[in-house]
Amino acid sequence: MTDEMIIKIVKGGPYIVSGGVPISEKVITPEGEGYVWTDGEEIEQKERYSLCRCGRSKASPFCDGSHSKTLAFGGKEKADMAPYEERAKLLEGETLDLKDDGRCALARFCHTDRGKVWSLIRNSADPECRELAIRAACECPAGRLTAYDKDGTPHEDALDKEIVVIQDPEKNCSGGYYVKGGIRIVSSEGHEYEVRNRYVLCRCGHSRNMPFCDASHIGYRFKSRN
């Protein structure tokens, strides 16, 4: 019997992933004024595996114990554990509203040929702007953005459970782990974070909002060593 798909954080160490969660590599690729995912390198599939969290593994994305050889990585979790609905701010548009919790991985899928999602929401009486706003919000891997109809119904894609290792050549760096489909995540203290359809975990070791990505990988020009 297959174990439940779950991510457990080791204090000062890696993410332990159980339950045969599929893992792949995807590349953030410019297309027009927006971005799309393209395929990266193949990654070995395992029933259980440890993902590097310190950014120093030579077996990236898998842990090789490098976290234990340096004092520079503490990995202390600092993220607010309050639910998304409590943390997110509301932007009201013409036919859509947008909630934004500010938890940004700078993946840039909120950019489109007609502008960024915030301006699209404001102009959502235009059918094209409305469609693009919904798509841009749904494609935010960090789960920062959610588009809502005026009756409060959220727009959210049904995503299969998967972990995506992000590469970002336009920014000359490697990104975090895009976790899809509502995979449970347990802190190093045994507390559970809110289950979300989309979130990005830090893998460069520098986020100030551990365990979630805050785009520090861009400033540090983090590159995985695989």
For the segment 150-206, what is each residue's pLDDT rounded down to a tens digit?
999 999 999 999 999 999 999 999 999 999 999 999 999 999 999 999 999 999 999
Helix (H) or strand (E) holding 90: strand 89-92
CA angle 220, 26, 11 (to 5 degrees): 55
Rounded Cα–Cα distance for residues 167 and 110 (Å): 17
Give percent of the chain above pLDDT 90: 93
Angle (nearest 5°) at CA 193 between 189 and 197: 150
pLDDT of res. 225: 66
Of 83, 93, 142, the residue nearest 117 (C-alpha): 93
Diameter of the chain measured on Cα atoms: 56
Domain boundaries defined on the chain? 1-226
Question: What are the two backbone dihedrals, phi and then psi, of residue 154, each rounded to the nearest 5 degrees?
Answer: -80, 150
Q: What is the pLDDT of residue 72?
A: 75
What does the pLDDT read at residue 226?
Answer: 53
**CA gyration radius for the chain?**
17
Instruction: Return the pLDDT at 1.
Output: 38
Contact (Cβ atoms closer than 8 angstroms) between residue 30 and residue 208: no
Report pTM: 0.95
Per DSSP, what are the bridge partners of residue 201?
177, 212
pLDDT of 33-88, one tens digit each? Answer: 899 999 999 999 999 999 999 999 999 999 999 998 876 788 999 999 999 999 99
Joined together, the tokens standing for residue 141 give 């891997």
Question: Within 13 A of 141's CA, how many CA atoms are on the CB side?
Answer: 29
pLDDT at 2: 54
**With contact defined as beta carbons under 8 Å apart, do 133 and 187 qualify?**
no
Kind plus residue range of the DSSP H or E element containing 133:
helix 127-138
Residue 122 has a CB neighbour count (10 Å cut-off) of 17
